[in-house]
Chain A
Amino acid sequence: MTAPPLGKDLVGLEDLSADQIRLILDTAEPFKEVSERPIKKVPALRGKTIVNLFFEASTRTRISFEFAEKRLSADTVNVAASGSSVDKGETLVDTARNLEAMRIDMVVIRHPSSGAAAFLGDRIRSNVINAGDGQHEHPTQGLLDLLTIRDKHGKIAGLKVCLVGDVLHSRVARSNIWGLSKLGAEVGVCGPDTLMPRGIEELGVCRFRRIEEAIEWADVLNVLRLQLERMEMGFIPSVREYYRVFGVTAERIEKASRPLTIMHPGPMNRGVEIDSRVADGPHSVILDQVTNGVAVRMAVLYLLAGGRPELADAAKGPGAGGGGPE
């Protein structure tokens, strides 16, 4: 039995159907097992060249993708490109053309401009995977968050998931909102008005202005990182105030009437948006998110990697098994 295709690129969860999202999550499960083997490698993408094109510094996402690629036996190249505003636009077009000319199979791109992944995907034949474009989406993060929730709760539909923090500037938040809504969860957001996009309610989310209310309502809290520059830009008066009014503290969590699953995309600002006791507590799945990240990225790379169906007839064998040759 073969699975429905995802298209050429993974730009965002907004573009995917619920079935496609479920396919990725289901495919990630066997890949979790690969990471537990003594030899953490399968030959599925052997001979494929993948470029990690990161215009923004990121250690954890890049490493996660690199592990995913290497565990699939692909050849990887890391490029840390300049994201300076002078070079940005020009560099992206030229980069696209150069990659095309080098016949790269897949590109994983992180860029400070929203829309950069789609921009690249429209211009090159290689598969393009969005590792975070500006404030638009971070689909693999959204997917690994979904997988983590599903593992912990056995389901997603009907769960109440609240995103806490700077939703306005967060691509992780947007991907989460799309993924959770499509799979039937109820989504909430909590944070100061200055950090919420106008019209957020029209995306179908519940709006909380008090962290206590969000904690009472939710089954899962996904706590977003507060970038300290936001204070300099006048969105919040101080980090201290943010912690006191919106911080996910152990005292507040203890008051909840049922256990809350705690998530965070990382890296954490301990003592700003979240308490260490909560981040390291019994209901935190933050480390599971990291484990799932590699599996989800393997699944995405595996599903996107080009097949050439016209040669499939030659290879297709009979039988009711995996649809493969006997």
Chain B
Amino acid sequence: MTRPLLLKGGRVIDPSRNFDQPADVLIQDGTIAAVGTGLGMPEGVEIRDVREQVVAPGLVDVHVHLREPGNEDVETIASGARAAAAGGFTAVCAMPNTDPVTDNQAAVGFIVRQSVRAGLTRVYPIGAISVGQRGERLSEFGEMVGAGAVAVSDDGRPVASSHLMRTALEYARTFDLPVADHCEEPTLAAGGVMHEGLVSARLGLKGIPAAAEEIMVARDTLLAGLTGGHVHLCHMSTRGSVDIIRGAKERGVRVTAEVTPHHLTLTDRACERYDTHAKMNPPLREAADVAALRQALKQGVIDCIASDHAPHAYDAKEAAFDDAPFGIVGLETAFGVVHTELVLGGVLTLPELIHRMSTAPAVAFHLPGGTLRPGAAADVVVLDPTARWTVDATAFSSKSRNTPFAGRALTGRAVLTLVGGKTVHPAGAPVDR
């Protein structure tokens, strides 16, 4: 039984209740007991001094790849949860493109049990839309929900068949499930390895045009409107997509969208030395796209930030650009990168950032969390917005090192992560008297 814990003297930012002021947070029996000043001290309380720091609801990442089952050498649920905790996340949603694909209740249950065993950041399974992610037949949404799935997605691939997407949206409505789509028109994008533009022309690499994403964004919002279902658009990357989402929201379509820290901060110029750490899908785009995504995030046209954490082995990325796999890890750099470039860069305020990384994703996926409301589970992160650190991939808790941010100087990181009142980061650190 852990002792009650008081986080004393910090700036408490709770977007779920529009709360942003100095306050103390009392945690007891794994839940938030009280938030305010002059709180009564229960017996045996541990006091942690968090002056100059920010106390916020634990960060929530609705889009990560944890590779277990099937590719445990590059990541497991346990190592991924450790990486998430280090990044300040108290909950993540794991995409189903594992091996075998997570498309049935037994597979979903496995992930839930692995998460409990790890005992760190909560890992919520996302089930596949189609059996084997082959895009032919719907998988058993009801069974998967019963085992703990919080959404469905065929991410890794697009849902090529509009008919299948439509039925998925309709069927998911029964269970109030978000249907998360990886928006990529397959015939346009086939063979492409980076954004189609001037840089790809110079490098002699086949490009993926922005239209490949926008076509599916348009399709998905139209189908969500037709069916009344909830579509969640993964890793948005173009200004055209932003415009389509804005219009759809104005029409009352149930659409939510996410954007990654790298799409908010990097452009296709990062590919210029054929650096495979700049290769991901959707690809890094142009400066105008980055600007539009930033504005969209600020305005809420894009609801939340999600890392699309995609571990890969060193050998796999050490290849010619055409042959390297897509994807980068992101859990341990997400907050630092976005805080440095967007908050210190004057695009977002810190409360806005916390909203987009905590409250909003929890709401989008109907997850508990994203709040410091008394009575809620004590999923809390303490952030130091002034902490200066350099990204050292060799020190990652993740098993993989494929990041384009290696060596970058960042400002802001999580210093304490609590899940249900228990410290999950730093590992084994004592709490101040």
Contacts and interface: CB of A to CB of B under 8 A. Distances in A.
B201 A115 contact: no
A119 B204 contact: no
Nearest to A123: B318
A214 interface: no
Contacts of A245: none
A88 B273 CA distance: 19
Interface in B82-132: none
A306 interface: no
Interface in A57-98: 85, 88-90, 92-93
Contacts of B322: 88, 112-115, 134
A92 B207 contact: no
B321 A115 contact: yes
Interface of A: 14, 85, 88-90, 92-93, 111-116, 118-119, 133-137, 171, 174, 197-200, 202-203
B395 interface: no
Contacts of A115: 203-205, 274, 320-322
B197 interface: yes
Contacts of B207: 198
Contact of B319 (A90, A112, A135, A202): A90
Given A89-B324, A119-B274, A198 B201 contact: yes
Contacts, number: 75
Contacts of B196: 198
B318 to A, nearest CB: 6
The range of chain B's interface size is 20 to 34
B283 to A, nearest CB: 14
A136 B274 CA distance: 11
30 contacts: A85-B323, A88-B319, A88-B322, A89-B318, A89-B319, A89-B320, A89-B323, A90-B315, A92-B319, A113-B322, A113-B323, A114-B203, A114-B205, A114-B320, A114-B322, A115-B274, A115-B321, A115-B322, A116-B320, A118-B274, A119-B320, A134-B205, A135-B206, A137-B204, A171-B204, A174-B204, A197-B201, A198-B196, A198-B207, A198-B209
B201 A111 contact: no
B202 interface: yes
B427 interface: no
Contacts of B205: 114-115, 134-136
Contact of A114 (B209, B315, B316, B321): B321
Contacts of B202: 14, 174, 203
B198 interface: yes
Contacts of A171: 204
Interface in B322-362: 322-324
Contacts of B273: 118
A93 B276 CA distance: 14
B187 to A, nearest CB: 10
Interface of B: 196-198, 200-207, 209, 273-274, 315-316, 318-324
A114 B273 CA distance: 11
Given A135-B204, A137-B204, A198-B207, A93 B323 contact: no
B320 A88 contact: yes
A92 B197 contact: no
Contacts of A135: 204-206
Contacts of B201: 197-200, 203
Given A118-B273, A198-B197, A199-B197, A134 B323 contact: no
A88 B198 contact: no
Q: Give 8 nearest A-B pairs by CB, closest first.
A: A89-B319, A115-B274, A136-B204, A89-B323, A135-B204, A197-B201, A113-B320, A199-B198
B195 to A, nearest CB: 10
A121 B207 CA distance: 24
Contacts of A111: 320
Contacts of B319: 88-90, 92-93
A202 B204 contact: no
Contacts of A133: 204
Residue picked from A85, A92, A114, A135, most chain B C-beta under 10 Å: A114
Contacts of B204: 114-115, 133-137, 171, 174
Given A113-B321, A114-B322, A133-B204, 11 more contacts: A85-B323, A90-B319, A111-B320, A135-B205, A136-B203, A136-B204, A136-B205, A171-B204, A197-B201, A198-B197, A198-B200
A202 B202 CA distance: 10
A171 B204 CA distance: 7
A90 B319 CA distance: 7
Contacts of A88: 319-320, 322-323
A14 to B, nearest CB: 7
A13 to B, nearest CB: 12
Residue picked from B204, B205, B209, B321, most chain A C-beta under 10 Å: B204
A71 to B, nearest CB: 30
